Amino acid sequence: MIKKKLIGGMSYVTFTFLLALYFTVVVNLPVYKALIGIFSQLETVKLGFVLTIPLFFLASLNFLFSLFSWPKISKPFFIILLILSSIVSYAGFNYGVMFDYDMIINIMETDSSEASSYLSLYSVIWTLLIGVIPALIIYKLPIKPITNPITFITAKFVSMFISLVVVGLIAAAYYQDYASVGRNNSYLKKVIIPTQFVYSTSQYVKDTYFTTPQPYKQIGLDAKQSDATLAQAQTKPTLMIMVVGETARAQNYELNGYHRNTNPYTRELDIISFQDVTACGTATAVSVPCMFANMTRDNFNRSQADNQDNLLDILQRANVSQLWKENDGGDKSVAKNITKIEIDRSRKDDMCNGSTCYDMALLENIDQDIADLKGNRMITLHLIGSHGPTYYQRYPSNKAIFQPDCPRADIENCSQEQIINSYDNTILYTDYVISQMIDKLKQLDEQYNTALVYISDHGESLGENGTYLHGIPYRFAPEYQTKVPLMVWMSPSFQQTKNIDYTCLKQAARKTGTYSHDNIFHSMLGVMDVSTQEYQAQLDIFSQCRNKFATEVTKNNN
């Protein structure tokens, strides 16, 4: 009896096959959802090809899982893999999220407060049913001990060989169909679980923990403010407020032609809204470092950006006094060398609920923040803006203008009308925050030459084509995730001091296919009158409307 108990249980080959079958049928639901969308747009689809897809996944996963199915490591490895895969499955099926390298970076840099916004009863139930309970079954499952290593290796080899034969036969019969669908929908490989997220995570771990860090590089060592600007600072300094938005998409801005009144507070403030601006990335971890770096989207490298000076560092070197105020879970290493204030989101009052704060909290003590700086100065406000999925937590009840909204985290269980209403409320509230900051700048007009620049990091999908949130790999991302608002307000004294033709700037803002995050680094250097060899006038949005300064900078740089 004891002997039978010892030799009883499931073989490793059977265990691996059943696990591959479970991943094929259940965990990879996001893949089948994506395929249904693809096939629905095709005129004809071969039935045989469609039927072989699950078999192809099963054979491929059985082969891959067999590589990790060994005594002592199988259970812990697959238990962890299954739980993580259930979370990936939930995000992929319900939001269309793809876990590529950039998304892994974004996840690793997400703080606990931000992460908690994704928790909902639905997400917990999904993870329990698809990940945790099957993982417990694996933990309890008896697996037959290996009594003959040769038999074990032979069985494993035969299983892997059969898997390869199945893959080969399918490829021989339907190669053109697989190639066509894969070539025309290359994002599909990023949806398959667990291959993509495991690969991306391993690359992140390798780059973060097993790669020698790049030496830090200082750039813009020649940076200096113009003599005229320094002289002006003695009597009436420049005060620039740069507002970095979160998850605001340009398509929902009334000032950009949206049919709803989402900009009721700024539309009468003589603010300029640029009509067509493209983001550097579709996630904060990419876009924020990119917009402050002396790189374009085409050559941006996060590791390099983290290890060299950025816009803020160069401005500080040129003695432009700096402050970063944070309400969005982190500056992504952009403000690592300057003074930084983080809003305490653990407090509970009319601005904060213990885990998140409204963006008006950034304006608390703003008078003292400004007074504490010296000379020409710039304050950067990092908003939580329209960060989802808990859009309803981004605005107070008196700004919940568009109804009915979606007062829950699992937005996939709200109607699209509710989701859009909630999102538009966040845009409206951001508009209110900007207007309040402009009002404050107007009050300070006698002391400072004031201006405000607002730009969002990336956009957001609100259910279009079944996609929600953001973070889709850039070449697959819809414009809802890549088009962002850029708004500029300048006091009359700022316009005069900086020699800016405001009418010209309004005309320039109407251009399409011209502006992006690539312009921010150079535009902010230019408008703050900082000359350096790093500055490129052709990427300065403002230079086209202030030729006098552009000529002076060119002369200084030569």
CB atoms within 10 A of CB 111: 11
The pLDDT value recorded for residue 548 is 56
Give the Cα separation of 418 and 220 in Å (integer).
48
Instruction: Please determine, for residue 10, whether its predicted confidence score (pLDDT) is greater than 80.
Output: yes
Residue 475 lies in a domain: yes
Does 304 have pLDDT greater than 80? Answer: yes
Q: What is the pLDDT of residues 309-353, one digit of tens each?
A: 999 999 999 999 999 999 998 999 999 999 999 999 999 999 999
3-state secondary structure of 342: strand
Share of the chain above pLDDT 70, in %: 96
Residue 152 falls within a domain, yes or no?
Answer: yes
CA distance 529 to 296: 21
- Sign of the Cα pseudo-torsion (7, 12, 13, 19, in order): positive
Residues 6+ away with beta carbon under 8 Å from 473 = 98, 100, 102, 187, 190, 282
522 and 379 in one domain?
A: yes
Residue 420 has pLDDT above 80, yes or no: yes
Kindly state whether residues 278 and 423 are assigned to the same domain: yes
Average pLDDT over residues 415-433: 97
Domain with 353 in it? 232-557
Same domain, 186 and 239: no
- Into how many domains does the chain fold? 2
Please enumerate in sequence order all residues whose Cβ is within 8 A of that of 492, keeping only pairs 6 or more positions apart, or say none. none
The helix or strand, by DSSP H or E, that contains position 472, with its residue range, turns out to be none
- Give a yes or no: residue 214 inside a domain: no
Q: Are residues 458 and 377 in the same domain?
A: yes
Closest by CA position to 252, among listed 509, 430, 393: 430
Q: Are the CB atoms for 167 and 77 separated by under 8 Å?
A: no
Of 208, 207, 189, the closest CA to residue 197 belongs to: 189
Strand partners, 483: 278
- In one-letter notation, the amino acid at residue 361 is A
Looking at 146, 178, 209, the residue that finishes a domain is 209
Q: How would residue 557 be classed by pLDDT, with cut points 50, 70 and 90? A: very low
Crossing angle between the packed helical segments 520-527 and 547-557, to the nearest 10 degrees:
100
pLDDT value of residue 182: 87
pLDDT band at 554 (very low <50, low <70, confident <90, very high): very low
Residue 472: partners with Cβ closer than 8 Å, 6 or more residues away: 96, 97, 98, 187, 282, 461, 478, 481
What pLDDT, on a 0 to 100 scale, did the predictor assign at position 54? 96
Neighbours of 307 (CB within 10 A): 14
| 143 lies in the same domain as 285 | no
Q: Classify residue 393: in a domain, yes or no.
A: yes
| Digit-coded pLDDT (tens) for 272-299 | 999 999 999 999 999 999 999 999 999 9
| Least confident among 220-224, 275-279, 411-415 | 411-415
User: Same domain for 285 and 412?
Assistant: yes
Residue 217 resides in a domain: no
Per-residue pLDDT, 6:
39
CA–CA separation, 382 and 450 (whole Å): 19
315 CA to centre of own chain: 26
Shared domain for 124 and 247, answered yes or no, is no
Domain boundary among 194, 209, 224: 209
Q: Which residues pair with 178 in a beta bridge?
A: none
CA atoms within 13 A on the CB side of 120: 19
Asked if residue 20 is part of any domain, the answer here is: yes
Q: Does residue 221 belong to any structural domain of this protein?
A: no
- DSSP states along 142-160: -BPPPS-HHHHHHHHHHHH
Residue 9 pLDDT? 84
435 contacts 266 by C-beta, under 8 angstroms? yes
What value does the mean pLDDT take over residues 508-532? 97
- Give the residue-averaged pLDDT of 384-392: 95
497 belongs to a structural domain: yes
Q: What is the DSSP code string of 49-108?
A: HHHHHHHHHHHHHHHHHHTT--TTTHHHHHHHHHHHHHHHHHHHHHH-----HHHHHHHH
Asked if residue 254 and residue 170 are part of one domain, the reply reads: no
pLDDT of 76-131, one tens digit each? 999 999 999 999 999 999 988 888 888 888 888 877 777 777 788 899 999 999 99
Q: Per-residue pLDDT for 452 more than 80?
A: yes
Q: How confident is the model at residue 211 (pLDDT cuts 50, 70, 90)?
A: confident
Same domain? 9 vs 60: yes
Asked if residue 24 and residue 165 are part of one domain, the reply reads yes
Does residue 555 have a pLDDT over 90? no
Between 555 and 529, the higher pLDDT residue: 529
Q: Are residues 129 and 174 in the same domain?
A: yes
pLDDT score for 214: 86
Give the long-range contacts of residues 253-259, CB within 8 A, separation 24 or more: 253/427, 253/485, 255/485, 255/487, 256/485
Residues in the chain: 558
CB atoms within 10 A of CB 439: 12
Q: What is the CATH number of the domain that holds 317?
A: 3.40.720.10
Longest distance between any two alpha carbons in the chain, whole Å:
96
- Beta pairing partners, 324: 340, 380
Do 350 and 268 share a structural domain?
Answer: yes
Q: What are the pLDDT digits (tens) for 130-165?
A: 999 999 999 999 999 998 999 999 999 999 999 999
CA distances from 520 to 37, 443, 548 (A): 38, 27, 20
Chosen domain end from 159, 178, 209: 209
